[in-house]
Amino acid sequence: MNAPPNALANAGLAVDQRPAPVSESGRGPGRLHAVPVCEAAASHWLAEAVYRGFEILVALTGLVAGLPVMLIAAVVIRCDSPGRVLFFHQRPGRAMTVRGRDLKGRTDLYPPPGGFEADSWYYVPSYFTLVKFRTMYSDARTRFPQFYAHNYTPEEFHRYFPTIRHDPRVTRVGRVLRMTSVDELPNLWSVLVGDLRLVGPRPEAPEVLRYYTREEMRKFACKPGITGLAQINGRGLLNWGETLDWDLQYVRTRSVWLDLKIILMTLKRVITRHGAF
C-alpha cells in the first residue's frame, strides 16, 4: 500500500514517532510485530469532526463537573496510603505508520513474512502517558513482584484474566474507586489532548504486547479509548483473548454511531457496576 503520511493521518492513522517506553528493569516491551497498514473502518470526515467536537465538550464538562469528586478522591487516596495521588503510565496508543525502507535493521520488530517492502507502510507501536488515580500501593511492584513477571505461553496469555479479584495490590480506597470507575476520571484529560478517544480499544500495559499475534497488533490501527466493546461486554470478566477479540471487532466495524451506542451502554454498565472489581 503506497499512501502519503497526510492521507494516512486523514484516515485516522497515526504518523507519530514516540519511542517505546522502558520498564523499571531497563527493558522495553520486547520484540513486537510490525504489520502492513490496512484500511480501518471509519465514518465520514464531517461526522468524525463533529464527533471530535463532542469528545472535547464531554471531556471539558466531565473534568469541570467532576472536579469536586476528584478533589475528594485525591484527599482520601492521600490519607489512605502513602504515595502520589495520580498514577502515570506509558501505554500503547494509535500505531505510527512507517515505510518499510525505514524499518530495515530494526531488531525490536518482527517483520511480516517475506520481510519489509521498501515502499509499503507498516504499523509500528507508539506510546502515550495515561493518567488516572492511583488505586494500588505505591510500592506494589516490590511487594508483589509475581504480578509483574508477565511470563506466559501464548496459550496461557489468551486464557489469563488481567483483572484479579481481591487483588492484594489494591488499597481500600482503590477498591471503591475501581468499583465506581472514579479512578478513570483523569482519563478525560487524555481525551482532551487527543491521546485517547471516549471509545476505542482499552490500552494495555506495554509488557504484554509481546504476546500479541501479528493480527492482534492491528488493534492499534485506531486510537485507544476510555471504553469500548470489551468494556460493555464483560470488562473484568473477560480474559485477554476475549478482550482482544472485542477490540479487533471494534477496529473492523467502528463508526461514530457505534461509539455513541457504546457510550450509552457504558453509562448503564457503570451504574450497575457490571464487571467492575
DSSP secondary structure string for all residues of 145-180: GGGG-----HHHHHH--SS-TT-TTB-HHHHHHHHH
What was the pLDDT predicted at 29?
Answer: 66
Cell numbers 485517547 correspond to 196
The answer to whether 176 touches 167, Cβ cutoff 8 Å, is no
∠ Cα 135 271 277 (to 5°): 35
Q: What's the gap between Cα 230 and its chain centre?
A: 12
What was the pLDDT predicted at 24?
Answer: 37
pTM of the model: 0.83
Which strand ranges, in their side-by-side order, compose the sheet holding 35-36?
35-36, 121-124, 96-99
Write the DSSP assignment of 197-229 as a string of letters: EEESPPPPPGGGGGG--TTGGGGGGS--EEE-H
What was the pLDDT predicted at 277?
Answer: 58
The answer to whether 272 touches 179, Cβ cutoff 8 Å, is no
The answer to whether 209 touches 29, Cβ cutoff 8 Å, is yes
The answer to whether 131 touches 111, Cβ cutoff 8 Å, is no
Measured in degrees and rounded to the nearest 5, phi and psi for residue 122 equal -135, 145
What was the pLDDT predicted at 140?
Answer: 95
Distance separating alpha carbons of residues 253 and 153, to the nearest angstrom: 30
Distance separating alpha carbons of residues 216 and 36, to the nearest angstrom: 12
Per-residue pLDDT of the chain (277 residues; tens, 9 = 90+): 344 343 333 333 333 334 444 443 334 567 899 999 976 666 778 888 999 999 999 999 999 999 999 999 999 999 999 999 999 999 999 999 999 999 988 999 999 998 999 999 999 999 999 999 999 999 999 999 999 888 898 889 999 998 888 899 999 999 999 999 999 999 999 999 999 999 999 888 899 999 999 999 999 999 999 999 999 998 888 999 999 999 999 999 998 899 999 999 999 888 887 656 5
Measured in degrees and rounded to the nearest 5, phi and psi for residue 35 equal -120, 150
Contacts 24+ apart (CB under 8 A), 21-26: 21/90, 21/127, 21/206, 23/206, 23/207, 24/141
**Nearest one of 135, 130, 167 to 148, comparing CA atoms:** 167
Measured in degrees and rounded to the nearest 5, phi and psi for residue 210 equal -65, -15
What was the pLDDT predicted at 275?
Answer: 55
The answer to whether 204 touches 154, Cβ cutoff 8 Å, is no
